Amino acid sequence: MTEPSWQSLAHSRWECKYHVVFIPKYRRKAIYGEIRASLGRIFHERAWQKECRIVEGHLWADHVHRCIEIPPKHAVASIIGFLKGKSAVAIARQFGGKLKNFTGEHFWARGYAVSTVGYELEKVTRDIREQEAEDQAVRF
C-alpha cells in the first residue's frame, strides 16, 4: 500500500477520494462516439474549476465510473451535481444544437452512487481498470 497523497488547505490537511458511479437518464446507451470523447475533457475541466481532481475513471455506454478527489470544504453532492449539470449543458450545446436558454432537458439520471475510497485507492483504481478490460473483451 502506498502512502496517501495529503493535500493542504489553510487550516487542514486532507486526503479525500470518492468512487462515484452515475448513469444517463433511463440508463440508455448514450455515451459513445463524439460524446464519449468530449465527456472526459469536460469532466476534467469542470472538476478543476471546483479544485477537484479526477484520479481515475472510465466511460461506458450506459454508466460512468470516477474516482475523484474532493476537498473537504466542498460537499460531495454539490460537486457531483455541478459535474453532471455542466456536462449535460455542454453535451446539449455541442451535440444537440442548443446554444442558449438550455432548460428542461436532462442527460443524466437524478441519482448517483458514492463511496469513500480511504486507503483502498489501489483496489478501486484496479477494479475500474479491470472492468474496462472486461468491457473491451466483450466488444470484440
| 66-93 confidence digits (pLDDT tens) | 999 999 999 999 999 999 999 998 888 8
For CA atoms 28, 21, 34, 126, the dihedral sign is negative
pTM of the model: 0.79
pLDDT per residue as tens digits for the range 94-107: 887 666 555 546 78
